[in-house]
């Protein structure tokens, strides 16, 4: 009993208890089946302290489970709950998780980390971004784990170079029951969650659950609110007595958010942390005339809506006693804004006239002499079909072979249809004139106004193979694997693209021209030009050259070895070593930066990013102590840095070339007594860019050699104390120190270090199966800090590169939340 108590101390353990040798955590059914014996089990019980899981896998991996997630604020996104783990740095944009945030994993941004949900890849098919505010309700997550710096051999991705985050949905219970919780908190926070388990029903013992949640609260600063709705269900059928099953799960998530304003350092100094968007529309003038609705600083136009959903199947079948087949098919749907742009356009603009010579009365005042404001969001609509499958062959007790396949097909439609504003300056539809949503703004020739119009297909076919063998009386475990992604992207640009050859910069607002008008000049190089009022009333831009709409197909592939070994020294001591290569194909936005080739448009010559990562680690476990430590090294080629520009409403990529990084990740847990547990983590991350960046044809360079990669803290500390004050009262205190982070490539502006403490207090009530009241206080000491960063190349002007100020989300202040939860 003592061993079990120390293993599972309380439901507030940093990593939840594991009472049997089940899957340590993996991304697909195949990975879970493959790792079924990856937890070290002793004769007296599992090797775990405070739920810390000891794995035989030769990887640096850390996990949290449902018990720990329940101690956090309800409605919180799962990435925030991973922030105490070593190597993880996540900055939340609001206290409750619905505004998203910024993920860093050993210095890799979220787009370079493979994120999967029940084996389903969640990275966007276009820019590979992940969206924390769209993740599964925490009450339904069984376990989430992080591979630090390396992917799994079957990771279903063409983008990940820097590790994985994997979480899986809980299984339906065999017994009827459920969970209900209700929360209130600061900023008018309200949330409700309800889940019902059917238990085993029917002659086959089929089981299922259905769950729904709703939350809404005000922004912590400025006007506006954030609302989230989510529905989930899963049905599962066990087959036989060997663990075979089939399962089907569905998820739907809807976010309607007003943006929180990012601040530059100057904004912060001049206006303070509460500076935000205007509460009313204060229209600005165009050409000396005030345009109704032209209010870029109005909170009602700063919206970030999304509708996302998935259908996920999973199955495990024994084809023979020693051969298993797993199949995980899925479908995902995404409709989301990528930028909340306001567009003003003259009623005689060439884009309005199109193929005619007529202007159009866009505002209904009886003339065509006005400039009119519209809402023109960058909308992405994706339909994605994926299947992952594994065949696992146990040659004998000590040797196993697995082969895996991933097919991932995404139809990626990106549009920017204009739609109207109401009298107060609000969009009449948050998805603009997207078909089936808002009203389009028609032009004189019957076409419609749009700021973006393109379509791509992303297709991944990936094969993987892995051998696992045990030697020396099972003390030595060897893993040898290879992953071979074959990625193809079909590109279709339906607008004219500015040819920036010979220009010192791309002029904001004219990099793409979506129009039906006829060019007035066709140049010998194949580019075309439009009349001055086809782009602007300013004659200075009359000679801009555009590449005609174009289509192309690009392909990328690479063979990626993945190897490691673990040795059990004895006495609870284990060492491991691993090597893995990673690869990331270029993002859609990079490829749509067109160049001329034989007079027609073609994708820019963009090189894939690649990595080589080495890990050397040590683990120790005893009935009361568990500790891990790993030193690592990663070599990058073509390192890509991405930042969102809130002024242009686009993400900007920068290739900083070769980067070398190395560091240390440590984690420990100590069961001081049956009622007291202490856990902690520490990470050190050092990165160096290897060469200067050339910025123009004249040879001007920016001094990047030796600089630290942006947004990555060199030092982070995390820790938590769990104390069972009485049988009914449980106290948890956790803190995270984040060191200085550079916000520019040249390291000429820095976000200072900060520490945030959180508190949870739970009191058990004598009702139902388990009922308790919980108090959560986030940012206990009301720390003011810079959170997520939109980085830049340089904040101070350099030769060949103008100054550009980084912007920051300011960390939210102290926030109190109260929850009443019951399990029945």
Residue ranges of domains in the chain, CATH in brackets? 2-495+549-823 (2.40.170.20), 496-548 (no CATH)
pTM of the predicted protein model: 0.89
CB 419 within 8 A of CB 375: yes
Mean pLDDT, rounded, of the chain: 86
* pLDDT reading at 44 higher than 70: no
CB 6 within 8 A of CB 674: yes
Nearest to 781 by CA among 752, 811, 809, 755: 755
- Pick the closest to residue 617 from 570, 581, 666 (CA basis): 666
Task: Give the distance from CA 413 to its chain's centroid.
Answer: 20
Residue 28 CA to its chain's centroid (Å) = 18
Among 593, 603, 717, smallest CA distance to 666 is for: 717
For the segment 67-73, the average pLDDT, to the nearest whole number, is 89
> Hey, is 374 helix, strand or coil?
strand
Per the CB < 8 A criterion, the answer to whether 274 and 207 are in contact is no
Say yes or no to pLDDT of 507 above 80.
no
Q: Name 56's bridge partners.
A: none
The token pair that represents 132 in the structure block: 């924390």
- The answer to whether 341 and 646 have CB atoms below 8 angstroms apart is no
Query: Which helix or strand (DSSP H or E) is residue 788 part of?
Result: strand 786-790
In this structure, what DSSP letter does residue 5 have?
H
**Section 704-725 average pLDDT:** 93
- Distance, in Å, from the CA atom of 760 to the CA atom of 776, rounded to the nearest integer, reads 5
Residue 117 dihedral angles phi and psi, to the nearest 5°:
-130, 105
Q: Which residue has the higher pLDDT, 294 or 700?
A: 294
Backbone phi, then psi, for 490, in 5-degree steps?
A: -95, 130
CA dihedral 804, 810, 811, 814 (to 10 degrees): 170
Q: Residue 373, SS3?
A: strand
Sign of CA dihedral 57, 58, 59, 60: positive
- The residue that leads in pLDDT, 752 or 542, is 752
Of 344, 382, 466, 362, nearest to 30 (Cα)? 466
pLDDT over threshold 80, residue 541: no
* pLDDT score recorded for residue 638: 75
Contact between 206 and 237 under an 8 Å Cβ cutoff? The reply is yes
Residue with tokens 């899986």: 168
Looking at residue 570, its pLDDT comes to: 93
Are 102 and 711 in contact by the 8 Å Cβ rule? The answer is yes
Residues across the chain: 824
CB atoms within 10 A of CB 376: 27
Tell me the two tokens of residue 776: 């959560």
pLDDT tens digits, one per residue of 383-397: 999 999 999 999 999
User: CA 704, 706, 712, 713: dihedral to nearest 10 degrees?
Assistant: -140
Confidence of residue 698 (pLDDT cuts 50, 70, 90): low
């Amino acid at each position: 009993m003592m061993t079990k108590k120390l293993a599972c101390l309380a439901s507030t353990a940093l990593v939840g208890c594991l009472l049997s040798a089940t899957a340590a955590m993996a991304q697909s059914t195949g990975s879970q089946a493959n790792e079924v014996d990856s937890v070290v089990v002793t004769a007296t019980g599992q090797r775990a302290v405070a739920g810390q899981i000891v794995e035989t896998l030769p990887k640096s991996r850390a996990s949290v489970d449902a018990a720990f997630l329940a101690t956090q604020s309800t409605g919180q996104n799962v990435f925030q709950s991973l922030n105490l783990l070593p190597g993880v740095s996540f900055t939340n944009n609001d206290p409750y998780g619905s505004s998203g945030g910024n993920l860093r994993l050993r210095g890799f941004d979220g787009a370079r980390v493979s994120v999967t949900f029940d084996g389903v890849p969640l990275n966007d098919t276009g820019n590979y971004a992940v969206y924390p505010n769209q993740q599964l309700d925490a009450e339904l997550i069984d376990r989430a784990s992080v591979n630090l710096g390396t992917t799994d051999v079957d990771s279903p991705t063409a983008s990940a170079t820097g590790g994985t985050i994997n979480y899986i949905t809980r299984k339906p219970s065999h017994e009827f029951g459920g969970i209900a919780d209700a929360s209130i908190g600061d900023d008018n926070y309200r949330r409700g969650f309800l889940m019902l388990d059917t238990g085993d029903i029917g002659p086959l013992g089929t089981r299922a659950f259905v769950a729904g949640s709703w939350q809404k609260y005000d922004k912590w600063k400025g006007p506006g609110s954030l609302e989230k709705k989510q529905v989930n269900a899963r049905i599962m059928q066990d087959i036989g007595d060997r663990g075979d099953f089939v399962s089907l799960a569905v998820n739907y998530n809807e976010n309607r958010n007003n943006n929180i304003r990012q601040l530059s350092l100057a904004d912060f100094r001049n206006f303070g942390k509460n500076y935000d968007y205007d509460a009313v529309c204060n229209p600005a003038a165009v050409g000396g005339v005030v345009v109704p609705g032209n209010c870029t600083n109005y909170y009602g136009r700063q919206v970030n809506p999304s509708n996302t959903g998935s259908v996920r199947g999973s199955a495990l079948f024994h084809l023979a006693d020693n051969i298993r087949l797993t199949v995980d098919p899925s479908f995902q749907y995404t409709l989301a804004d990528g930028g909340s742009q306001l567009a003003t356009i003259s009623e005689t603009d060439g884009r309005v006239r199109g193929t005619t010579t007529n202007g159009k009365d866009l505002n209904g005042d009886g003339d065509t002499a006005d400039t009119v404001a519209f809402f023109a969001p960058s909308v992405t609509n994706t339909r994605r079909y994926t299947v992952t499958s594994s065949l696992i062959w146990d040659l004998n007790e000590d040797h196993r072979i697995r082969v895996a396949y991933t097919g991932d097909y995404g139809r990626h439609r990106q549009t920017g249809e204009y739609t109207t504003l109401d009298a107060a300056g609000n969009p009449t539809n948050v998805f603009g004139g997207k078909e089936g949503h808002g009203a389009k703004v028609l032009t004189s020739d019957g076409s419609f106004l749009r700021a973006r119009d393109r379509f791509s297909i992303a297709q991944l076919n990936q094969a993987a193979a892995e051998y696992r063998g045990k030697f020396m009386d099972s003390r030595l475990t060897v893993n040898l694997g290879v992953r071979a992604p074959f990625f193809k992207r079909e590109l279709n640009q339906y607008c004219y693209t500015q040819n920036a050859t010979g220009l010192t910069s791309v002029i904001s607002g004219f990099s793409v021209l979506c129009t039906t008008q006829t060019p007035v000049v066709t140049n010998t190089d194949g580019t075309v030009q439009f009349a001055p009022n086809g782009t602007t009333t300013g004659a200075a831009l009359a000679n801009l050259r555009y590449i005609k709409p174009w289509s192309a197909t690009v392909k990328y592939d690479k063979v990626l070895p993945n190897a490691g070994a673990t040795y059990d020294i004895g006495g609870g001591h284990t060492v491991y070593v691993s090597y893995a290569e990673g690869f990331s194909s270029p993002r859609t936005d990079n490829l749509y930066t067109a160049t001329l080739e034989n007079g027609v448009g073609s994708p820019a010559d963009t090189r894939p990013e690649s990595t080589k990562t080495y890990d050397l680690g040590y683990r120790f476990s005893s009935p009361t102590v568990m500790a891990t430590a790993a030193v690592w090294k990663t070599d990058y080629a073509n390192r890509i840095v991405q930042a969102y520009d809130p002024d242009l409403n686009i993400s900007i990529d920068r290739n900083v070339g070769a980067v070398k990084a190395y560091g240390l990740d440590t984690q420990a847990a100590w069961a001081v007594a049956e009622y007291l547990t202490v856990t902690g983590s520490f990470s050190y991350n050092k990165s160096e860019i290897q060469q200067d960046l050339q910025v123009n044809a004249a040879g001007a360079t920016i001094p990047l050699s030796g600089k630290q990669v942006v947004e990555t803290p060199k030092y982070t500390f995390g820790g938590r104390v769990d104390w069972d004050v009485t049988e009914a009262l449980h106290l948890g205190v956790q803190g995270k120190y984040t060191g200085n982070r550079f916000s520019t490539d040249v390291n000429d502006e820095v976000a200072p270090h900060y520490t945030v403490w959180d508190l949870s207090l739970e009191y058990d009530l004598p009702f139902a199966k388990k009922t308790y009241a919980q108090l959560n206080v986030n940012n206990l000491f009301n720390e003011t800090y810079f959170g997520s960063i939109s980085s830049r190349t340089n904040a101070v002007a350099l030769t060949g590169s103008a100054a550009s100020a980084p912007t920051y989300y300011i960390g939210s202040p102290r926030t109190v939340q109260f929850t009443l939860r019951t399990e029945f």
